[in-house]
Amino acid sequence: MKNALSILTLLCLLLTSCVAPQNPSRIRAGSDDVSTDGGDNSGGSGDNGGNNAGPSDGSDVDNNITQATAKVEITQIVDPNTGTFRKKVSIPKDFEGYMYLSGLNISSLKDKIISARFYFGRERSSVTIPAVVGRVPGGLSPLSSIDVIILDIDNKPFRNLRLLYDLFDYNDYNETGVVTDPTQDPTNAGLYCRGLLIEDDPTFEGSVTNTACDAAGETCYYAYAKVNDSGLYKFETDADGNIAEVTDRPLYEQYDKDANGYVNETDAVNLRKCLPDNNDVSNFNGVMGASLINLTFGSALTLDGTAHVYKGPFRLFAEADWQITGDAIINPAIATPNSLFQSAYDPLQPESGYKSYLFPRAGKINYSQAGIQYYGSDDPFGVKTLNVLPGAGETKWMDGCNIRAKNYDQFTGETISSCNVTATLEIITTVDGKEEVLASSKEVKLQLLKSGLGVTTGQSFSAMKTCDSNRSCGSGECCFNSRCWSRDLVGQCSDDFTPVGNLGTGEVCGTDFDCASLCCNQTTRVCSDHINNDLEQVLCSKVPGQSCVSREFCRQENVRECYILKTTDANGNPSCEKKCFSVPKFGDCVNGTCQPPTSDSDPSFDLSDPNRCNGALDSAPIVL
C-alpha cells in the first residue's frame, strides 16, 4: 500500500511539473487584467506581448488566447412583407406574429433558452422577445432546409417606441438612362432610416484614419440626421422680448383646399401648404400666391399682412448631433444617391438644401372628385405646374412633402416617413442567473414604421410568398429553393450563367449552379457535397479566390476576435479586461468570390483611460 501511495505521489508531482505555473500577480489592486493574443490567427499564443499589450507600467499581460468552438452569426432576416431573405426589413410598430432570423451556426443554439434583444436608435431603447430555434424548408440548394430563430411576437412589443427619425430613399431611378417611378412603399428595400450613431452604421466604411462621414460621395445610409418639411419663416417676439424666426410644419397639400380655384386661395391657407422642392421661382409664386422676381435663400415677402422669409423647403434639427457632416450632406451626383440633398442655394449651408432624398421623393394623391386644381407634373422630379384633375382618381406626380403632409398625425407627430431602426441585434440567454450574449449583429437591421404601414401580422414560414424563378423575385433578388434572397446575401444568381443544373456529386461541372449542391470544385471540376445542419456537416470549403454562392460555401478559418469584458479586480471592485479568442469563421463571399474572413471586433484598450470599461460586455458573443 505504501509503495502504491509513493508511486501515485510521484506521478502527481510529474504531472504538476508539466503544467504552466499561474501568475498570482496577474490581477492587482488598482489595475485591470488584459488578456491578449500574441500569436497569429491560427489560435496559437506568442510571447511578444501581442498587438494589444498594455503600456509598460510593470503590469503583467496574459498572452493566452481562448479557442472558441463556433461563432453564431445573424446574417439575415425574413421580410414578412415579401418572404425574402434580407439584411434589412421594415415593419409597422404595431406588428405581431412570426418573425424569422437566420445565419451561420444557428443549430448550436438548439439546447439553449434564448431571446432576441433589439436596441433601437441613438438612444438604444431595448425590446426583448422570447425565441426558439427551428428548421424550415428554404436553404439555398434544392430541397434543403435552413436553421432559423423563430420569434413569436405577441402583444405588439414595438408599439410604444417613438419614431424619432426619418426614411430616406436611396434607390437609383435613373440607372438605365430612363427615369423610373419613385417608390411609394415605405417597406421598400432601398429606404434607410437615418437614426444611428456612425459606429452602428454598417454602410459606413470607417477606419482608424476615417472616423467621420464627411466627404463628398461618402456613404452612411443610417447615420443620424434630422430633416423636416418647412414653411416660410416669420418674426415673433418671445417671452423674454427677443425677436425670433419661427416656422410651422406644412399641413396642406398644394391643391385648392377651399375648392374656389387655386388663385383664389387665401394667404392664410397658402402659408400652411408645402413649399416646392426646387428653386423655380414660377413654381414658388404659383403655390404661395407670391410675386417674387427671383427666389434665393433669404428672399423676403409679405403674405397675409405679415413679413416672411424664405429659407428653403426644409429645416434642420439638432444639427450638432448629426452623424453625417461636411461635404457628404449635399451631392449633385444623381447616379449615386447617398446624401441628404442633391442641391443647395449655398453648398456651405446645409439648411439651404433642396431636392431632398426624404421619402417619398414624389407621390400621387387620390382625390374623390373631379375639378381639383393642384401642382404636379408628368416627371416625378420635374418642376410642378398647375393642373386640373379631370375625374376622380390619381393626380400627376406631386412633391413628396404633399404625401407627408396628407399622412401626418398631429397627435403622435408621425407620418409616412417616420421610423426607428435597430443599432444592434443580440441573441441572449441566462446561465446561473447571469445574462450571456450568444450572438450580436449590427449588419441585420429592423426598421419600424408608422402603425398600419406594411404587413401587420407575421405568417408562418410555409405561408409566405415563394418563387419559381428569378423573374418572380423583386429587383436585386435571386430565387433559390423557392425563396427569394437579396443579392447582398448571395454572391451569384443563376441568371449570371447558363447552368446545366441539379448535377449530382462527382459529375462534371462548369459553375456552382450546375450542381445540386451549388458546390463545383474548381480544381477537379466535379460537383462536391455541401451539407450544413445539426445532423451532418460536409462543407464545400472553397479557398480564397474561388467562386461562391454565399459565405457558407467558403472555407472556415480561425480569426482573432477581442472583446472588453466585465470582471472584478483583486479587491472585488467592478473592472474589465480585454480578452481575445480564436474564432472559426466562414470566409466572406464578395462579388461571387471567396475571401479570407476578417475580424469583427478588436477594440483599443488603454489601462490609463478611466472610461475604458464603458460598453464592456458581460460575456463574449461566441460559443466556447
Answer left, alpha or beta for residue 42, where phi above 0 means left and psi between -120 and 50 means alpha: alpha
Quote the DSSP letter at residue 273: B
Enter the DSSP assignment of 311: -
- The domain spans of the chain are 26-64+560-584+603-624, 71-193+412-490, 198-399
> Residue 526 and residue 452: Cα distance in Å, rounded?
51
In angstroms, the first-to-last Cα distance of the chain is: 42
CA separation for the pair 560, 562 (Å, rounded): 7
Q: What angle do CA 231, 237, 240 make, to 5 degrees?
A: 135
pLDDT of 461: 75
At 464 the pLDDT is 75
C-alpha cell at 57: 507600467
Query: What Cα–Cα distance (Å) separates residue 145 from each residue in 74, 76, 231, 414, 496?
Result: 17, 15, 54, 40, 24
> What integer pLDDT is reported at residue 497 of this predicted model?
64
Enter the DSSP assignment of 155. S
Predicted pLDDT of residue 175? 64
CA 587, CA 198: separation in Å to the nearest integer?
25
Quote the CA–CA distance of 328 and 244 in Å, as a whole number: 30
Contacts of 214 (CB under 8 A, 6+ apart): 324, 325, 326, 327, 328
Asked if 415 and 409 touch (Cβ cutoff 8 Å), the reply is yes
Note the pLDDT tens digit of each residue in 272-315: 999 999 999 999 999 999 999 999 999 999 999 999 999 999 99
Look at residue 498 in the predicted model and tell me its pLDDT.
65
**Taking residues 440-466, what's their average pLDDT?**
87
**Above 70 in pLDDT, residue 460?**
yes
Q: How far apart are CA 517 and CA 513, in angstroms?
A: 8
Instruction: Give residue-wise pLDDT tens across range 153-172.
Output: 888 999 999 999 999 999 99
Q: Please name which of 323, 137, 302 lies closest in space to residue 220, comparing C-alpha atoms.
A: 323
Sign of the C-alpha dihedral computed for residues 578, 581, 586 and 591 taken in this order: positive
The pLDDT tens digits of the residues spanning 244-273 come to 889 999 999 999 999 999 999 999 999 999
Q: Which of 78, 77, 80, 74 shows the shortest CA–CA distance to 94? A: 80
Is the separation of the CB atoms in 518 and 527 below 8 Å? no
Query: 354 near 385, Cβ under 8 Å?
Result: no
At 186, the amino acid letter reads P
**Euclidean distance between CA atoms 358 and 188, whole angstroms:** 14
Lowest-confidence segment of 183-187, 242-246, 324-328, 393-397 by average pLDDT:
242-246
Which cell numbers hold the place of 551? 459565405
pLDDT tier at 8 (50, 70, 90 boundaries)?
very low
Nearest to 193 by CA among 360, 420, 361: 420
- Are 305 and 340 in contact, with CB atoms under 8 Å apart? no
Backbone angles phi, psi at 12, to 5 degrees: -60, -40
- Find the mean pLDDT for residues 515-538: 86
Q: Indicate if the alpha-carbon torsion angle 491, 493, 496, 497 is positive or negative.
A: positive
